[in-house]
């Protein structure tokens, strides 16, 4: 929705705003108003004359001639059914907090539809449900390709948290970077909602408190106490396992781990939700580990 006090600029033509009650009409007319730096885009339709055609019953109308321009002040907020990094996601509303979440882990092509307990073995579960597992992110890192379970490995710690310079999974140390030891920069990065981080525009990686409020918190009626509860939760969390800091993929089907954007107690750890066959709890995990990520609307 565009508010009347929004800052609007048009890269071509003159933008005339006609306000009738709560209806906002745009007419793009001929001329030039210079260029602008934009953060969103919209399609406008307008006539060739500065006087818009008039409909006797409904007042001014807008010609259907296409007029595509970029406008500032119109953010491309992610909507349910949109694609993000090549995959379609829908949104779900929490029955506990009313918060809006993506319906699956980042990198997953489907929502989990069966629990691990529906299968005789971990291997059977993985064969049937692996498409709902999603990617395995190192904590605070952008989606540069390292998150894919089959990505190559590199044993050299990154010297920058914003520009690693490659998409390889960094292994061999507790932390994938030798800078930002307190995690403040990477936590802030995962809390971004402008679409420059791992989550789509308008969304972020949840804090420990935000994820706990939907799973293990005191106010949750049906608390997550194990992997079966994690699947039965509205988030449909899978037992996707972990990509350990040595680069190996382990515990698929046996357990699940989900990153929060919150830092841990030590300089090389951050907070995760872990669930297995009989338990669910919060723990500190090394930032070089590759774990699941779910996004919440800010």
pLDDT of residue 285: 98
Same domain, 96 and 220: yes
DSSP per residue, 111-165: ---S-GGGSSSHHHHHHHHGGGT---EETT---SSTTSTT--EE-S-BS-SS--S
Residue 62 pLDDT > 70: no
Q: What is the pLDDT of residues 206-227, one digit of tens each?
A: 999 999 999 999 999 999 999 9
Residue 32 pLDDT > 90: no
Residue 105 pLDDT > 90: yes
Q: What is the mean pLDDT of residues 12-23?
A: 34
Q: Cα(237)–Cα(258) distance, rounded to whole angstroms?
A: 9
Same domain, 109 and 19: no
Same domain, 209 and 178: yes
Same domain, 175 and 197: yes
Same domain, 242 and 269: yes
- The boundaries of the domain holding residue 63 are 14-71
Q: What is the pLDDT of residues 110-119, one digit of tens each?
A: 999 999 999 9
Domain-located, residue 2:
no
Residue 164 pLDDT > 80: yes
Domain-located, residue 9:
no
Domain-located, residue 77:
no
pLDDT of residue 20: 32
Whether residue 149 contacts residue 243, with contact meaning beta carbons closer than 8 Å, is answered with yes
Please give the tally of structural domains in the chain: 2
Domain-located, residue 124:
yes
Same domain, 158 and 185: yes
Same domain, 56 and 128: no
pLDDT of residue 76: 83
**pLDDT: which is higher, 235 or 17:** 235
The model's pTM is: 0.76
- pLDDT above 90 covers what percent of the chain? 74
Same domain, 143 and 33: no
Whether residue 296 contacts residue 106, with contact meaning beta carbons closer than 8 Å, is answered with no
Taking all residues of the chain, what is their mean pLDDT, rounded to a whole number? 83
């Amino acid at each position: 929705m565009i508010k009347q006090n929004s800052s609007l600029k048009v890269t071509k033509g003159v933008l005339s705003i006609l306000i009738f009650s709560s209806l906002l009409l745009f007419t793009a007319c001929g001329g030039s108003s210079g260029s602008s730096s934009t953060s969103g885009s919209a399609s406008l339709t307008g006539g060739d004359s500065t006087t818009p055609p008039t409909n006797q019953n409904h007042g001014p109308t807008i010609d259907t001639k296409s007029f595509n321009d970029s406008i500032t002040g119109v953010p491309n907020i992610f909507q349910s059914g949109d694609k993000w990094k090549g995959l379609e996601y829908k949104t779900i509303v929490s029955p506990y907090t009313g918060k809006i979440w993506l319906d699956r882990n980042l990198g997953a092509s489907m929502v989990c539809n069966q629990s691990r307990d529906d299968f005789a073995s971990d291997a059977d579960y993985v064969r049937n449900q692996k498409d709902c597992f999603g990617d395995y992110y190192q904590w605070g890192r952008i989606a540069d390709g390292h998150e894919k379970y089959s990505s190559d490995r590199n044993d050299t710690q990154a010297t920058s948290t914003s520009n690693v310079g490659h998409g390889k999974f960094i292994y061999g140390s507790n932390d994938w970077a030798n800078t930002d030891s307190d995690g403040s920069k990477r936590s802030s990065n995962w809390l971004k909602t402008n679409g420059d981080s791992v989550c789509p525009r308008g969304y972020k990686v949840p804090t420990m408190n935000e994820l706990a409020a939907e799973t293990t918190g005191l106010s949750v009626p049906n608390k997550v106490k194990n992997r079966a509860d994690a699947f039965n939760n509205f988030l449909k969390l899978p037992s996707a396992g972990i990509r350990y800091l040595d680069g190996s993929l382990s515990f698929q089907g046996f357990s699940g781990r989900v990153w929060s954007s919150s830092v841990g107690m030590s300089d090389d750890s951050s907070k995760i939700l872990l669930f297995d066959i009989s338990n669910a709890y919060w723990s500190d995990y090394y930032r070089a580990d590759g774990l699941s990520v779910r996004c919440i609307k800010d």
